[in-house]
């Protein structure tokens, strides 16, 4: 009797792994380098601002209790250091907690996975600031390219599905892995690629830990590869690889334009601490609340509100307001609440996502007057807010595109400074020192000293 045999996928080191391990990520054009520096500044600031966010002190206590080698700083203000993988988990959760981190047209929130992982490993190996930026560039670019090539099926949280590979690449580069070693790290990360949006729709705290899981898995994958543990070489296009299991689009796309076109340049930085699919609605409400050519709109004058969202937007942020979920996550994933809060206060910032704001009984009547209708297509826009006033007038605002992110360096710095002072509780002088340090990270000789006196 003949025995059937299965042919192995052909081993292939791949252009991607060679680029990730090579000089390319360290020789970025200025536009790409500027984007990496902006991502670093934004991610650290919004992560540090999450020190009081629901659930994060519990995460800090759990990680601290596990202990281990004092390599990498926890971003909770305690000054504690823990093993790199544990710090990546902890700080990745903090970076995602406020839903104030970066957006990208291919896959959002990659910064919240890759940057905590890269900083944690850079601290462990005492890399300099230039090496850190190159690692972030490598990890981010890989994750964006994978996301553009293969669109994960609905329900997967694409940030963690693709972000784990970015974290593995960044960590592997900092650990000094060659192309074969990074290829193994990516193969090991394949076994940990996961993440579901169920926590989003149920508005639970687990949502903010998905980036943490991916960051930790990426670091651990690189460490395993460094220790000599082999991983699948065809992690992406293999018979049971990423594209086959999570949704294939174009397996050749990740290598197309590699080293010439940098997708990381398209990252933008949020204006509002909420899911990006609510931003167009928030922007429309704010334009009505604070019109450029008239007096502010009084919430007491509003009789009814109609909010029009697309099907894709409604999937994540269209569920009715309830008090069943976590209040902070409700604020971030409930467009009905966000629109009411924006109309009532004329702003939508960190103060509007606190439990006190979300559960404020004085706002409940306006929340209940916001009715949602589903119409049209688009993942982030358009959104329309139509307000009927007590005197019979009807005011309408439509935002046809995702509101522009904060790309101006001064506007981004102001956001970061506000996050560090209001959210993290730093005094102005300490916040300014930290921001200056991040803005000149290329000059840092040892990333373990990056945060200096700001860390406590």
DSSP character string of 226-258? HTT----S-TTTSTTSHHHHH--S-TTGGGTTT
Give me the residue spans of the domains in the chain.
Answer: 15-270+412-455, 276-399
pLDDT given for residue 48 in this prediction: 98
Bridge-partner residues for 305, per DSSP? 370, 387
Element (H, E) at 73: strand 72-73
Using alpha carbons only, give the angle 91, 93, 95 rounded to the nearest 5 degrees.
Answer: 70
Question: CA distances (Å), 181 to each of 114, 166, 191, 218, in order?
Answer: 18, 14, 16, 13
- Is it true that the peptide bond before 382 is cis, omega within 30 degrees of 0? yes
Rounded CA separation 354/434 (Å): 25
Which residues in 378-409 are b (16+ Cβ under 10 Å) and which e? Answer: bebbbbbbbbbeeeeeebebebeebbebbeee
More confident residue, 201 or 377: 377
399-412 pLDDT tens trace: 999 887 767 888 99
More confident residue, 15 or 177: 177
- CATH tag, 15-270+412-455: 1.10.4100.10
pLDDT given for residue 172 in this prediction: 98
Arithmetic mean of pLDDT over the chain: 93
Of 88, 132, 131, 133, which is closest to residue 113 (Cα–Cα)?
88
Strand runs labelled E in 363-419: 370-374, 383-389, 394-399
Residues ≥6 apart with Cβ < 8 Å to 301: 389, 390, 391
**The pair of three-digit structure tokens given for residue 306, joined into one six-digit string:** 């109609």
Rounded CA separation 47/97 (Å): 7
* Angle between helix 210-226 and helix 111-125 axes, rounded to 10 deg: 40
SS3 readout for 328-369: HHHHHHCHHHHHHHHHHHCCCCHHHHCHHHHCCCCCHHHHHC
pLDDT given for residue 294 in this prediction: 86
pLDDT given for residue 453 in this prediction: 65
Rounded CA separation 20/165 (Å): 11
**The pair of three-digit structure tokens given for residue 97, joined into one six-digit string:** 């907690």
84-105 pLDDT tens trace: 999 999 999 999 999 999 999 8
- CB atoms closer than 10 angstroms to residue 268: 21
> What contacts 24+ positions apart, CB below 8 Å, involve 296-299?
296/346, 297/343, 297/387, 297/395, 299/343, 299/344, 299/366
What is the architecture, at CATH level 2, of domain 276-399? Answer: 2-Layer Sandwich (3.30)
Of 396, 278, 257, 378, which is closest to residue 330 (Cα–Cα)?
278
Residues 376-381 have a mean pLDDT of: 93
112-131 pLDDT tens trace: 999 999 999 999 999 999 99
253-302 pLDDT tens trace: 899 999 999 999 999 999 999 999 999 999 999 999 999 888 999 999 99
Strand runs labelled E in 232-327: 302-309
Of 180, 103, 99, which is closest to residue 140 (Cα–Cα)?
103
Bridge-partner residues for 393, per DSSP? none
Of 262, 263, 272, which is closest to residue 404 (Cα–Cα)?
272
Element (H, E) at 82: strand 81-82
Residue 405 CA to its chain's centroid (Å): 14
Residues 65-89 have a mean pLDDT of: 97
414-454 pLDDT tens trace: 999 999 999 999 999 999 999 999 999 999 999 999 998 66
Does residue 372 sit in helix, strand or coil? strand
């Amino acid at each position: 009797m003949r025995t059937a045999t299965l042919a192995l996928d052909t081993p292939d080191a791949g252009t991607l792994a060679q680029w990730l391990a090579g000089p390319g990520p360290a020789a970025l054009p200025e536009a790409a380098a500027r984007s990496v520096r902006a991502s670093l500044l934004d991610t650290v600031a919004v992560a540090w601002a999450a020190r009081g966010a629901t659930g994060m002190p519990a995460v800090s206590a759990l990680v601290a209790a596990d202990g281990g080698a004092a390599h990498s700083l926890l971003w909770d203000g305690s000054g504690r250091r823990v093993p790199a993988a544990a710090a990546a988990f902890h700080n990745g959760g903090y970076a995602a907690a406020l839903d104030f981190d970066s957006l990208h047209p291919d896959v959002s929130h990659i910064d919240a996975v890759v940057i905590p992982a890269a900083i944690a490993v850079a601290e462990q190996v005492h890399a300099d600031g230039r090496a850190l930026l190159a690692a972030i560039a490598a990890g981010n670019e890989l994750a964006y390219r994978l996301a553009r090539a293969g669109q994960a099926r609905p329900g997967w949280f694409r940030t963690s599905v693709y972000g784990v590979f970015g974290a593995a690449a960044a960590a592997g580069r900092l650990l000094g892995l060659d192309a074969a070693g990074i290829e193994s790290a990516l193969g090991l990360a394949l076994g940990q690629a996961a993440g579901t949006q169920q926590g989003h729709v149920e508005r639970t705290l687990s949502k903010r830990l998905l980036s943490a899981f991916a960051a930790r898995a990426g670091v651990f994958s690189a460490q395993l590869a460094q220790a000599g543990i082999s991983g699948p070489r065809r992690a992406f296009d293999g018979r049971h690889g990423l594209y086959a299991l999570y949704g294939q689009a174009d397996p050749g796309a990740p290598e197309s334009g590699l080293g010439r076109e940098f997708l990381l340049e398209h990252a933008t930085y949020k204006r509002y601490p909420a899911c990006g699919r609510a931003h167009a609605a928030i922007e429309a409400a704010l334009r009505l609340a604070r019109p450029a050519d008239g007096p502010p709109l009084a919430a007491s004058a509003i009789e009814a509100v109609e909010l029009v969202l697309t099907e894709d937007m409604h999937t994540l942020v269209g569920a009715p307001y309830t008090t069943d979920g976590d209040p902070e996550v409700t604020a971030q994933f409930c467009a009905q609440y966000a629109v009411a809060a924006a109309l009532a206060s004329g702003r939508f910032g960190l103060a509007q996502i606190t439990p006190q704001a979300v559960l404020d009984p004085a706002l409940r009547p306006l929340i209940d007057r916001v009715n949602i209708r589903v119409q049209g297509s688009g993942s982030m826009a358009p959104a329309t807010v139509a307000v009927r006033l007590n005197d019979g007038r009807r005011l309408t605002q439509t935002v046809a595109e995702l509101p522009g992110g904060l790309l101006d360096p001064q506007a981004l710095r102001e956001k970061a400074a506000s996050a560090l002072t209001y959210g993290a509780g730093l005094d102005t002088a300490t916040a300014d020192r930290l921001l200056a340090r991040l803005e000149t990270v290329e000059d840092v000789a040892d990333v373990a000293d990056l945060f200096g006196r700001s860390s406590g």
